[in-house]
Structure 1
Amino acid sequence: MGVKLTVNQLNEAWIASGDKVTDFNDQINMALNDDNFSAEDMSELKNKRDNEKVRRDALREQLVEAQAEQVVNMREEEQVPLNKSENELKDKFVKDFVNMVRNPMAFMNTVSSNTNNGTDGEDSAAGLTIPQDIRTTIITLVRQFDSLQQYVRVENVTTLSGSRVYEKWTDITPLTRMDAEDGLIPNLDNPRLTIIKYLIGRYAGIITATNSLLKDTAENILAWLSSWIAKKVVVSRNKEIIALMGAVPKKATITNFDDVITMINTAVDPAIIATSNLYTNQSGLNKLALVKTAEGKYLLEPDPTKPNTYIVKGKRVIVIADRWLPNGGTANAPIYPLYYGDMSQAITLFDRENMSLLATNIGGGAYETDTTKIRVIDRFDVQATDSEALVAGSFAAIADQVGNLKTTATTAG
């Protein structure tokens, strides 16, 4: 029995199949212009093209069915229909997107003529701004793609730069106890504040649009666009978050399971232990999962509330792909990462919420290949806010626990 494909997998397969059909058509056109024309080769190309067409159309039907099933299975609170103005905005966005892809230069002239002089300058040449309701769909998809953003603090901002003041948990001092009702209330000591500055960066990616895409329905265009952008957003933001994780304080190398427990109990301030988690990569999880108790049972416990997740002393083990959080050491002697703490206290992501699209059929190799390139720009910054809220450990191997039960020998009287 085959594995059921998800909506995202069906969407990707449908787009890839459409690309193949376009490639076969290009090959047929080239063959017709070839002096060494072969009827046998032409027949083979047409058969491949026609078979791929059938596959493409079947994938599209499955995608529509899966999308409909996904809507039916949505939680009740998520099934909020768009109002009239939101529907009109969505329809206008799809229309503008298709126009932008079909005729980028004409679209840019329209954007330039409609530019508001009150903008900050960067948006006037940004292309097509993605509206709020579609950004909401993208954010929903982001949560499905193993995004680290869900563990850090996210602050929405409207300016390119700014600053915030933070006070660490460990630096907060208590109020003074006043025994006398008429006693003089003393001044508080000056808190040790840290100023965190952010500067919004532009993170961009480009994809090639197929001709078949523009002939599709508005819903499928939005599904394709939202899925593509969501994956790009996750990869970009994960990379910046992991870079900051690598700069947190280091703890002693872990050699046994008692070291893991000590890390959980003592590595961060008690005030944030309740909201702290363990973080490792796939290889690290596998090593931890193989550690056994003195009775031969595995020390990692499955989380009964979440399938395929583990906990250690009530702390969830969050797994990051090896390609994003690689091992240290060498291939023959890897060193596995193990982080612990509250990422929402340690790292803040400043999100400008201003994604935009721009297309060209001339630059980026589009002219040479007779295609259209679509560029997406995401705007955000990631900053460390509390250097003591997350710590890093590492381990090469963790020894199994050794039994400490002793038997007392008895002698017959």
Structure 2
Amino acid sequence: MNVNQLNDAWISAGQKVSDLNAKLNAAVLDDNFAKDDFEKMKEERDNAAAQRDAIKDQLDEARALEVKNMDKKDKKPLNKKEIDIKDQFVREFKDMVTSTKEGQGNGGLTIPEDIQYTIRTLVRQFATLQNLVNVESVTTTSGSRNYEKLSNITPLADLDDESAKIGDNDDPELTLIKYAIHRYAGITTVTNSLLKDTVENIMAWLSTWIARKVAVTRNLKIIDAMGKPAKKPTIAKFDDIKDLENNTLDPAIMASSSFVTNQSGYNVLSKVKDAEGRYMLQRDVTQPDTYRLDGKTITVVADKWLPDVSGAHPLYFGDLKQGITLFDREHMSLLSTNIGGGAFEQDLTKIRVIDRFDVEVIDDGAWAAASFKSVANQQATTPGTSGSTTDK
């Protein structure tokens, strides 16, 4: 197939996926709903989506190969319309800011995908908690997902006779999780000097500003989903931390679990020593900026965002990727005004950014919460206190 044929096939495959999605939506509302038929349609839709994505990959590869094999005489310089998308975005951004007229706003500006990618990369660098939870990109403002909790999975039946009939598995206990995308917005003031800056500087400023706002906002919503630990401290010594690790979660989750605390809690834990006088927190030799507590990564959140509870520091342990999902709409937008928000009185221009996402708890058994005020050092042991003996 040539590029045009692949492009037509990709469009056709995308339409097929859309049609199958429409059938699925109609099926769930049908009074004659049949589970088996629905599962078959869902499998057909998933297979069609996989085929669509595979065709797109081949289309991208064919386009790249066509450019690579192009004769030099056929290569022409870009015309005025074929400008770099960042240059175009910055020009439209400037137009949006400067074209706002008294008494009326403007249509706003949707941030292009490649620039959103830069922002998301920065968010991952700034954010401490989004990296710990599951992030799912969605294209609709609301929806639902069925999840099976790890603790609800039952074992297969034990057949002691080779000729025994194999029965049906227990129906999984699924939990229906609904999400509804919310809008989160922030406003900043733009000076005229910024609009005279270079494309690179404007992009760097805009991307960093949005990323910081997004990171802080998403952290707060994730912390809300994690819930507050008990006010009464449950940890007083290092063995209590071991109990938190070993006795509160399903063993299958322990391997992928980690700790989360605030800055004050981290300060306390960083001073705890083992029986030989060594600090309990150890630097990860593969990641110099990362510390581990009993071999598990520990993430530190500022006290401002993860405050103490009645003077006790929070300590979470578990696998938040299994417990919490952030549904990311990935549809950021900008809007400016020189009228509202006090801009008119001060002769300023203000820019508002809107981020769209939702955070939902999927499995509240995937992490545990505790609190502490102080953690005692491990006591030095002797053969007598440790239970061992030595020959005299």
TM-score normalised by L of structure 1:
0.70
SS of corresponding position for 2:313: strand
Distance 1:387 1:252 in 2: 21
Report if aligned partners of 1:251, 1:391 keep a CA contact under 8 Å in 2.
no
Alpha-carbon deviations, 1:136-188, whole Å to 9, x = none?
11111112213311110000001111000110111101222445555332122
Show the 5 A alignment for 1:154-303.
154-180=135-161, 182-246=163-227, 253-303=234-284
Offset at residue 321 of structure 1 (A): 0.8
1:350 is aligned to 327
CA distance 1:109–1:407, shift in 2 (3 Å): closer
Distance 1:181 1:398 in 2: 56
Is 1:104 matched up with 2:81? Answer: no
Alpha-carbon deviations, 1:179-230, whole Å to 9, x = none?
5555332122121111110000000000111000111111111111001000
SS of corresponding position for 1:196: strand
1:337 is aligned to 314
Is 1:94 matched up with 2:71? Answer: no
Offset at residue 359 of structure 1 (A): 0.5
CA distance 1:365–1:250, shift in 2 (3 Å): closer
SS of corresponding position for 1:328: coil
Distance 1:159 1:323 in 2: 33
CA distance 1:256–1:95, shift in 2 (3 Å): same
Report if aligned partners of 1:281, 1:325 keep a CA contact under 8 Å in 2.
yes
Which deviates more from structure 2 when the two are superposed, residues 141-150 or residues 220-229? 141-150
SS of corresponding position for 2:130: helix
SS of corresponding position for 1:148: coil
Moved beyond 6 Å, runs of 4+:
248-252
CA distance 1:249–1:349, shift in 2 (3 Å): farther
Offset at residue 310 of structure 1 (A): 1.8
Q: What is the letter of the counterpart of residue 96 of structure 1? A: E
Offset at residue 86 of structure 1 (A): 9.1
Q: What is the letter of the counterpart of residue 336 of structure 2? A: A
CA distance 1:251–1:353, shift in 2 (3 Å): farther
Q: What is the letter of the counterpart of residue 264 of structure 1? A: E
Report if aligned partners of 2:220, 2:305 keep a CA contact under 8 Å in 1.
yes
SS of corresponding position for 2:312: strand
CA distance 1:96–1:259, shift in 2 (3 Å): same
CA distance 1:130–1:147, shift in 2 (3 Å): farther
Determine which of 138, 150, 159 is the counterpart of 2:131: 150
Determine which of 358, 368, 371 is the counterpart of 1:391: 368
Q: What is the letter of the counterpart of residue 340 of structure 1? A: F
CA RMSD between the two structures: 2.3
1:20 is aligned to none
SS of corresponding position for 2:275: coil
Offset at residue 242 of structure 1 (A): 0.5
Is 1:371 matched up with 2:348? Answer: yes
Distance 1:161 1:247 in 2: 27
1:66 is aligned to none
Report if aligned partners of 2:264, 2:303 keep a CA contact under 8 Å in 1.
yes
Report if aligned partners of 1:277, 1:341 keep a CA contact under 8 Å in 2.
yes
Offset at residue 248 of structure 1 (A): 7.3
Offset at residue 366 of structure 1 (A): 1.0
Report if aligned partners of 1:249, 1:387 keep a CA contact under 8 Å in 2.
no
CA distance 1:251–1:311, shift in 2 (3 Å): farther
CA distance 1:269–1:249, shift in 2 (3 Å): farther
Report if aligned partners of 1:205, 1:232 keep a CA contact under 8 Å in 2.
yes
TM-score normalised by L of structure 2:
0.73
CA distance 1:99–1:152, shift in 2 (3 Å): same
1:382 is aligned to 359
- Contiguous gaps of at least 5 residues in structure 2: 1-77, 386-392
- Contiguous gaps of at least 5 residues in structure 1: 1-83, 112-126, 409-413
Distance 2:82 2:229 in 1: 43
1:362 is aligned to 339
Q: What is the letter of the counterpart of residue 98 of structure 2? A: R
